[in-house]
Structure 1
Amino acid sequence: MEHIYPIYNNSVPREEKENFLGQRGTVFWLTGLSGSGKSTLALKLEKSLLKLNHLSTILDGDNVRSGLCKDLTFIEADREENVRRISELAKLFVRNGIVTICSFVSPLQSMRQLAKETIGASDFHLIHVKASVETCIQRDTKGLYKMALGGELKNFTGIDAPFDLPENPDLVLDTEEESEESNIQILLNYVLKYIKL
């Protein structure tokens, strides 16, 4: 079955695309509770990379759930399918030499493992954007915690759905203890180390 889709046998090799772009395609997967700061860090990272002439793209809940995954709910099976689709898409970007920033709650260890296996361990970096449920409730930038606590929103991570703390993340960014500026610099330095040819 693996040979019935031979497109990659004939397309421009990944190495040529990476040499053209002057970077290595890599996935940086940001996981953490809603309100932990994942999207903020992803956006700032993308802008910082562009200033340094690196092409990147962001995949997050907002842009994926409004199109590719708009048919999915937030039950566990649909969340796993959401991660599977995102991982396959991220793998395609990586094969084309693009730095791919994935910003998803991805609450279960099994989901993050699925992403890593799909994308490939050598192209995957797990980054835990760390903030407690209490802090995220205080921030509540989208009003989602208020809805979840009021019973209007079911299966919400941290309230009535679990979040497995990452067991061995490649990087931890503590948005409670560190400033936004400090975290983005730590993240940028980390990313640059792995995308250089």
Structure 2
Amino acid sequence: MRQPTASTLLAAVVLVAGCRAGPRDTANTTTPPVTAPAVTTATTPTGTAGSFNPTDIAWLQLTVAMTERLLPVLDLVPARTTDPVWRRTATQLATAQRADLDHARRLLADAAAPTTNPHEGHDMPGMVTAQEMTALRAASGRPFHRLLAGHLRAHLAQAVRIATAEQQSGVQPATVALAAAVVRNGAADLARLDHLDPV
């Protein structure tokens, strides 16, 4: 049986992510959704070493892009609700998401990946759009809870989905380990959301 090529694995992650151009991309439809560097070998300052394949790079870039879009949503919570449970949940999620973001950025640096975001201007599944962000800023209390819960579920479900693809096709040990943590924590966060009442 033929082994899948690196380009096949990369395409699988991109297809799972469902990267699509947002409104800002309509003027330039020739830009490829993902630019993955060649496989490299890197050693981190903490001693993590290994080869990064294109799937590793693609997943890290998607993770950074998705997390950067989620954090402003979580930052809205203190001003939009006085509910202590939602505030505490948002704080815990933001802390975990920032830690994952820092980790992913370090791994991309170790891989000598481009510093530019290949998903800039793209609206992918699990990402809050500019219009949805406007609606969140205008809502408060329970209407805000409903919107927030929906966006958090969409983000977490998509993050788990693409992290699972990385676990299956990635090769760099620290990157695969981060994906495993995203899957584990994402499932726990989704279960925690189920116990909140957004109505």
Specify the TM-score bucket, using the shorter chain as the normaliser: under 0.3
TM-score, length-normalised on structure 2? 0.27
TM-score, length-normalised on structure 1? 0.27
User: 1 or 2, which has the higher helix percentage?
Assistant: 2
